[in-house]
Chain A
């Protein structure tokens, strides 16, 4: 039979999928429904967020490389690729922070402004919250690895965190399409 961690982690991801599905459905239902401005095409630009997206998607690849290195006993490679993943995740978060600073500081656009603001900050914010959690988890693993506590036989546990990371990336593809392509 499967290791129980496989099923457990897939169950966690299933339940998370339905959580984000609810947020996305509400976002889609409310596109163009705001009574007052500003509208998404006035505020959102694709420049910064595209770079962010590339960074986050690249981090899915680096975490795979890190796991591969761990499995083949290449400890320094594991730490290197894991570090790259953390940097890319942090980059994504920094990009989001820059975008939000502009929106809140310059455009005075907040959760309270209109329906668009409400759904935008909730959906993008909950995703960013999950990225933050992922970056913390990866950093914890990196720290343990750096201290030499992570051995080859821990690869299964690292793999589960990588599943979570892939999930966070996939959700971003959906969020990106919904918020920046369909909704704009």
Chain B
């Protein structure tokens, strides 16, 4: 029996800090994402505790404002983005048969920018107070509408923390996007034409392009806001003649594509998981590619549907409502393609598939409430109510987070060499699924009853008590789901079943190397002839490339 050579902790740490390996960077991205998921989830729990009963005084209003701002900002920029970019980092080179990303050092730089940006955002809880004597953490909502964020209404340095930390983290995301586009377009192994790439790679390609287009707009308006706040510029100063809507237009020109930046990788996970657990080829590959590209284009032209209640002209309203309906078409195609993939398949409801199926169901609901909100008169009634909160949590929690868990359970064996515990995984799914529905379903009802989002309390006797109590109970159920996930993670890392190279009998290239993969990924560069190279390898008598 051989024992692993003893490596002191300091040199292990040194290895991780100085690494340019896409797999190590991917793991660090995902671990940071999980860490911030824990923090932002705790903020959400405390908000639900505050809102469980009317006139509660668990959280003071200022703290509540900081919590909903930090919860939203964290979930989008410090949980969604790093987990997605981390998964892309880890799996894109493996899936396309490359040794690493195109620019490994840029890749490391991007990660460290992200991490220090993220830490700076959370340093605001401590530093905001010390520097200015004003409130600590940002409290202006995740979209930080100017003029609310100008110094007149947000004195102190909390908003500056929001600007600078997200600017830095955003630069990191742009670098990773540059890397992804270059890697996918230039480093595919022999035989892998664009139309033979796993859908994962296609979706991440469109995703990275959206990052390249949308994030610089956020950077530009953040610079403008910083100039206003620190140097006396007038970009958002209505008294100097500025247009109070300009922030909203430019922010949502970033912010709406950002929603697709988050959800396209979720589509990518589900598109890899669903065929493997249905034992069928993905239905309508080329249609999926076309739908992904059209989503990418249309996503850039729907931003003002976040601004229906701001008094836009009827022509503008009609255009943005119409464009929003149209983006439902390619998204609907994907839903039908996943269902058609499952149709008639030998479905194995292992945990990844449970989460993928949960994703499809919940995302359909979130998508349909989105179509409801695209109807302008409906939006006038529901804008900035809990209905909207319910809607985007169905998209980003029931959609994105379920897909992330599907991917997590699917690829964890590849990354660690150990299986996650299936029993705990199934319990986690049902706890999260039930908890999710109990939390976010009733929010649509309290929204209909007129409960505005972002208020720290409400009065009794207005029909809001039941719905809020249900939402808070649901949050408690979810808590146990997340707790079980943490236990499963730690337990399986120690005691998990050895996974082997290909525990799910899957078909994409990453499963052909060892688990975890060696630093060089593949001893020799693979050659592929179809979209399912491992199927060809396992079934030489009936290979895919004869039919594609």
A residues apposed to B, CB below 8 Å: 1-8, 11-12, 14-16, 18-19, 21-23, 25-26, 29-30, 33-36, 111-112, 114-115, 117-119, 122
By beta carbon, the residue of chain A nearest B217 is A22
- A22 x B250 contact (CB < 8 A): yes
- A3 x B186 contact (CB < 8 A): yes
Taking CB atoms, residues of chain B closer than 8 Å to A12 are 178
Taking CB atoms, residues of chain B closer than 8 Å to A16 are 216
Given contacts A22-B221, A112-B233, contact A8 B212 (CB under 8 A): no
* Set B182, B224, B231, B234: member contacting A8, Cβ < 8 A: B182
**Considering the chains assembled together, what is the distance between the CA atoms of A16 and B221 in angstroms?**
14
B residues apposed to A, CB below 8 Å: 102-103, 174, 177-179, 181-183, 185-188, 209, 212-217, 219-221, 223-224, 227, 231-235, 237, 239-243, 246, 250, 253
- B235 x A26 contact (CB < 8 A): yes
**Considering the chains assembled together, what is the distance between the CA atoms of A72 and B243 in angstroms?**
54
Most chain A CB within a 10 A radius of its CB, from B178, B231, B233, B240: B240
* Set A6, A15, A29, A118: member contacting B178, Cβ < 8 A: A15
By beta carbon, the residue of chain A nearest B214 is A18
Most chain A CB within a 10 A radius of its CB, from B181, B231, B242, B250: B242
- B231 x A7 contact (CB < 8 A): no
B82 to chain A, nearest CB (A): 19
Taking CB atoms, residues of chain A closer than 8 Å to B246 are 26, 29
- A29 x B243 contact (CB < 8 A): yes
**Considering the chains assembled together, what is the distance between the CA atoms of A33 and B217 in angstroms?**
22
**Considering the chains assembled together, what is the distance between the CA atoms of A90 and B379 in angstroms?**
54
Taking CB atoms, residues of chain A closer than 8 Å to B221 are 22
* Set B182, B227, B235: member contacting A7, Cβ < 8 A: B182
- B182 x A4 contact (CB < 8 A): yes
- A115 x B212 contact (CB < 8 A): no
Taking CB atoms, residues of chain A closer than 8 Å to B219 are 19
Taking CB atoms, residues of chain B closer than 8 Å to A8 are 102-103, 178-179, 181-182
By beta carbon, the residue of chain A nearest B211 is A15
- B178 x A11 contact (CB < 8 A): yes
**Top 9 closest pairs, chain A to chain B, by CB:** A22-B220, A19-B216, A4-B102, A112-B232, A4-B186, A11-B178, A118-B233, A7-B182, A33-B241
Taking CB atoms, residues of chain A closer than 8 Å to B216 are 15-16, 18-19, 22
- A118 x B234 contact (CB < 8 A): yes
- A35 x B240 contact (CB < 8 A): yes
Most chain A CB within a 10 A radius of its CB, from B216, B235, B237: B216
B93 to chain A, nearest CB (A): 12
* Set B185, B227, B242: member contacting A122, Cβ < 8 A: B227
- A111 x B187 contact (CB < 8 A): no
**Considering the chains assembled together, what is the distance between the CA atoms of A112 and B239 in angstroms?**
13
By beta carbon, the residue of chain B nearest A7 is B182
Taking CB atoms, residues of chain A closer than 8 Å to B233 are 111-112, 118, 122
**Considering the chains assembled together, what is the distance between the CA atoms of A173 and B231 in angstroms?**
28
By beta carbon, the residue of chain A nearest B106 is A8
B390 to chain A, nearest CB (A): 32
A120 to chain B, nearest CB (A): 11
Taking CB atoms, residues of chain B closer than 8 Å to A115 are 234, 237, 240-242
- B241 x A30 contact (CB < 8 A): yes
B85 to chain A, nearest CB (A): 15
A148 to chain B, nearest CB (A): 26
B175 to chain A, nearest CB (A): 9
- B220 x A4 contact (CB < 8 A): no
Given contacts A15-B212, A19-B219, contact A1 B243 (CB under 8 A): no
B525 to chain A, nearest CB (A): 13
Given contacts A15-B212, A22-B250, A115-B234, contact A7 B185 (CB under 8 A): yes
* Set A7, A14, A19, A29: member contacting B220, Cβ < 8 A: A19
- B227 x A118 contact (CB < 8 A): yes
A175 to chain B, nearest CB (A): 14
- B213 x A122 contact (CB < 8 A): no
A147 to chain B, nearest CB (A): 23
B216 to chain A, nearest CB (A): 4
- A122 x B239 contact (CB < 8 A): no
**Considering the chains assembled together, what is the distance between the CA atoms of A122 and B221 in angstroms?**
11
By beta carbon, the residue of chain A nearest B233 is A118
- A4 x B183 contact (CB < 8 A): yes
**Considering the chains assembled together, what is the distance between the CA atoms of A21 and B219 in angstroms?**
12
Taking CB atoms, residues of chain B closer than 8 Å to A35 are 239-241
A123 to chain B, nearest CB (A): 10
Given contacts A15-B174, A115-B242, contact A1 B185 (CB under 8 A): yes
Taking CB atoms, residues of chain A closer than 8 Å to B182 are 4-5, 7-8, 11
Taking CB atoms, residues of chain B closer than 8 Å to A111 are 227, 231-233
**Considering the chains assembled together, what is the distance between the CA atoms of A118 and B183 in angstroms?**
39
Taking CB atoms, residues of chain B closer than 8 Å to A6 are 186
Given contacts A26-B250, A112-B233, contact A18 B239 (CB under 8 A): no
B324 to chain A, nearest CB (A): 22
B186 to chain A, nearest CB (A): 4
- B212 x A30 contact (CB < 8 A): no
**Considering the chains assembled together, what is the distance between the CA atoms of A19 and B222 in angstroms?**
11
- B181 x A7 contact (CB < 8 A): yes
**Considering the chains assembled together, what is the distance between the CA atoms of A16 and B178 in angstroms?**
12
- A26 x B224 contact (CB < 8 A): yes
**Considering the chains assembled together, what is the distance between the CA atoms of A11 and B185 in angstroms?**
11
By beta carbon, the residue of chain A nearest B253 is A22
By beta carbon, the residue of chain A nearest B235 is A118
Taking CB atoms, residues of chain A closer than 8 Å to B215 are 15
Given contacts A115-B234, A115-B241, contact A7 B186 (CB under 8 A): yes
Taking CB atoms, residues of chain A closer than 8 Å to B186 are 1-4, 6-7
**Considering the chains assembled together, what is the distance between the CA atoms of A118 and B187 in angstroms?**
44
By beta carbon, the residue of chain B nearest A11 is B178
* Set B179, B188, B250, B253: member contacting A1, Cβ < 8 A: B188
By beta carbon, the residue of chain B nearest A23 is B220
- B212 x A11 contact (CB < 8 A): yes
**Considering the chains assembled together, what is the distance between the CA atoms of A183 and B410 in angstroms?**
56
- B103 x A4 contact (CB < 8 A): yes
Taking CB atoms, residues of chain A closer than 8 Å to B103 are 4, 8
